[in-house]
Each structure stands twice: as C-alpha cells, then as structure tokens.
Structure 1
Amino acid sequence: MSFSTYVFDAYGTLFDVTAAARQAARESDFPELQDIWRDLAQHWRTKQLQYTWLRAVTHAHTDFWEVTENGLDWALEATGLADDTALRKRLLDLYWHLQAYPEVPALLETLKTQGHKTAILSNGSMKMLDAASRSAGIAHHLDALLSVDTVGVFKPDARVYDLVEAYFGCTKQDVLFVSSNGWDAGCATGYGFTTAWVNRSAEPIDRLPWRPHHILTDLTTIPDLR
C-alpha cells in the first residue's frame, strides 16, 4: 500500500513540547527551574492532554490555548512555582515558538519532493499551529493545517479525523496518520487510518481495542512505510 496523504499530529510529534521549559531553564532569570524543568514539562503536557479529554466527554470545548494555560498553572503549582508570574509569562511566550524535532524539516521536504500531500491534524488552534509551523520553518512544507477549531471537539472524536477526508477528498486508505501519542495513533487505527506511533520515550503501548500499525522511535523512516 502506498499513501498519497501524510497527516501529522503537531505537539510532541513535529514540535518538541519540552522545548519551552528547557529553554527557560537555560536562562539566568529562572534558576529555580534548572533542576525541575523536566518535571514541570511532563506535568504541563499531562494536564494539557487530560483537560482535552475531559472537555471532550463533557461537551465543554474551549480554545486549546486556554487548555494550555490551565495545564501550565497546574504544573507550576505542583512544582512549587505558582507565584512566579514572570516564569509563567515566559513559558507561555516560548510555547508559541516551539522547536521542531531535528528530523522534521528534511522529512517533510522528502515527502513533498515525492509528490505527497502533507498536513497537520491537531488539537491546537489555527493561530497556534500557524505560529508554530512558521517559527519552526516548516510551514512551506505543509499543504494544510487542520484544527479541531473547525468541529468544536478535541481528539479522539471521529469528527476530528473526518477533517482529513473532507479537506483532501481522499479515502482513509490513502492516509498515513502519524502521532507521538499512543492513544491518538490507536484511536486513528480504529477510525480506519493506517497509523504510525512515534514512541520517542519508549512508553508502554496503551491498552485500547486498537493498536498502531507501525511503532517508531523518530520520524526518519516515515517515507518507507507501507
């Protein structure tokens, strides 16, 4: 099987979600972060995801930026930094300009050179995705930024995955969907996409009715998948 359309989750897949905390920890203004930035980054990401799931099942949708702020506030309190307003502002500013993982630009360029369609499908708002893709220097390699803003519900609701076929006029069989979230890749398998889970941190597989078709450690072999 060959694919015409390659669709990527954004945060944790193309963009390094730990980059904001790591960068702030390197700055002289925030010495308190140097020893705990990894914990803060993990708390932030975990709560960000949990809040999307809870809002999806309770029909309480909101902009992903609000969820990102809420997750950070929880993480700052959990690490004893809730009163550090300067750090909060700096971390949120940095989140608009997350770095792409090193292999991402070359991968997307390869896919485009081969004539494939490429897109992001993300919980992120259009404004966030546009800023991140431009900042990371990959916007010109993407045919579409597909945001849950369009349907008003977060992943893994099927209406989110529907956006791919609606935009490209393709079938599920034409799509390779790639995510660093095991639950996202698994649910996309259940939806009908061929999927690749980029398991950068060697996590156990999620116990779901569906499994990703491919499990990778980074994105370099994506063009070889069938």
Structure 2
Amino acid sequence: MPITTCVFDAYGTLFDVSAAARTLAAEPGRAALAAVWDRLATDWRTKQLEYSWLRAAMGEHRDFWGVTQDGLDWALERHGLDDDRELRHRLLALYFELEAFAEVPAMLARLAESGQTVAILSNGSPDMLTGAVTSAGIGGYLDAVLSVEDVGVFKPARAVYDMVGARFGCAPAEVLFVSSNGWDAAAGAAYGFDTAWVNRAGGPVDRLPALPRRILNDLTQIPEIANA
C-alpha cells in the first residue's frame, strides 16, 4: 500500500533536545554548566522520558511541560546546579526554541512538494510544540501537529497512534512513522505503521515485540522512502 502520510516524532527526531543546554553553556559566565552540559542534557532527556512512562503506568498523567520541568529539576540536582534558579528558568525558556536538525527544513519541504500529508505526533504539550515549530520555521510544511494531550496518555499507548487515522482517515499501512526513539519506532511498527528509526546515536535495537522496518542515520532519505 502506498505511503500517503508521513508522521514524525518531535523531540530528538525533528528538534535537537540537547540544544538548550549546549546553547546556554556557550554563554560567558556559564563555567559550571559548560563543565557538565552534555551529561546534564542526557540526564534531563532520560528522566523526561522515564517520568512519562511511569506516569502512564501509574495512571497519573501530567502534561509534558510538567514532566520536562521535573526531569530538569532531577538533572540539576544531580549535577549540583539546583540552587541556580536563573539557570533553570533559562533552560526551560530555551526548550521553546529548540533548534531543528540541519536536514529537517529541506526534507519537510520535499515531502510537502511531493504531495505527502506531513504531521507531528508528539508527547509534547501544545504550547511547547507551537513554540518549537515556530522557532524552527517549519510550520508551513505541516498539515497537523498532534499532541498526546488530546488523549491524556503518553506514547507508546495505542491511543496515541490512533490519533493519526482519526485525523487523516488513513490506514496504518499508509503511514510512514519516523522517530529517533527506538521504542517509539518499535511501538509504531507493532501498531501497523511503516516505520523508520532515526538512530542518530548508533544505539542497539530495543528488545521489544516489533522492530522498526528501517534504521537511518538522519532524515535525509525520508522523501525517497515515502515516495518509493
């Protein structure tokens, strides 16, 4: 069945989640952050995801903005920076202005020009996603930005993937679902999507009930895959 709809995870897939800490660490007077920014960014992202899964399992939903703050607070305390409230404020503000990966705008433009329906499906809360999409200048290429807040549970719950068919009236096999999270790509494959895992870090494949159909280094090939 031909692909009609290309759906992307947002954070780590289209947007560089390390950009906030990296950008701030480069400012003058940020020696304490500069010494640990890469580890802090990794811990922040890890806890952000862990808290989304744990809250889903506990039935205690909090939107992704709240989970993002909780993850940052854990990471700041781990690295001895939790008393710097100005640093916390700046890092959170920069999360609304995350950089898109270099290949993203041209890739999305090619998809849109080819007639594909293009969307984001993200754990992110609507205001976070609006900020990132606007800052990256990619809104003109998107037909929809879908947030899990409409169903009140995080990925990989099937209710999240149901949102794609409900919005666009397409069958799962018509969807190319793209994520930088191996577990997300695996869940999409189990759901019935055609899938691509953007394995930027070169990690091993997750041991889950399904496997992503493709493993890529970046997003450059997505238009060719979608229109093959």
Q: What TM-score do the two structures reach when normalised by structure 2?
A: 0.98
Shift, 1:173, TM fit: 1.1
Percent identical residues: 59
* SS of aligned partner of 2:97: coil
Alignment correspondent of 1:33: 33
State whether residues 30 and 87 of structure 1, in contact with CA within 8 Å, keep that contact through their aligned partners in structure 2. no
Q: Is the CA contact (8 Å cut-off) linking 1:8 and 1:178 kept in structure 2? A: yes
Superposed displacement of residue 115, structure 1: 0.5
Instruction: Specify the code of the residue in structure 2 equivalent to 1:144.
Output: A
Matches of 2:204 and 2:73 in 1, distance apart?
A: 28
Q: Look up the equivalent residue of 1:163 and give its one-letter code.
A: M
Report what 1:210 is aligned to: 210
Aligned residue for 2:201, secondary structure, equals coil
Using the alignment, how far apart are the partners of 1:72 and 1:108 within structure 2? 30
Q: Secondary structure of the equivalent of 1:7? A: strand
Name the SS of the counterpart of 1:15 in structure 2: coil
Q: Secondary structure at the match of 1:96?
A: helix
SS of 1:89 mapped into structure 2: helix
Q: Deviations over 1:146-182 (max 9, x none)?
A: 0000000000000000000000011111100000000
For 2:168, the aligned partner's letter is F
TM-score, normalised via structure 1 length: 0.98
Instruction: Tell which deviates more after alignment, 25-34 or 140-149.
Output: 25-34
Aligned: 1:158 with 2:164: no
Structure 2 residue 68 is the aligned partner of structure 1 residue 68 = yes
**CA shift at 1:2, angstroms?**
2.9
Aligned amino acid, residue 206 of structure 1: D
Superposed CA offset, 1:45-70 (max 9, x none): 00000000001111111111000000
Alignment of 1:1-226 (within 5 A): 1-225=1-225, 226=228
Give the whole-Å Cα distance in 1 for the aligned partners of 2:223 and 2:119.
Answer: 15
Q: Which amino acid aligns with 1:175?
A: V
Distance 1:69 1:223 in 2: 35
Moved over 3 A (4+): none
Q: CA RMSD in A?
A: 0.8
Aligned length, in residue pairs: 226
Q: CA deviation at 1:29?
A: 3.4
1:189–1:212: 8 Å Cα contact kept in structure 2? yes
Q: What are the Cα deviations for residues 191-216 of structure 1, in whole angstroms up to 9, with x where unaligned? A: 11010000001011111111000000
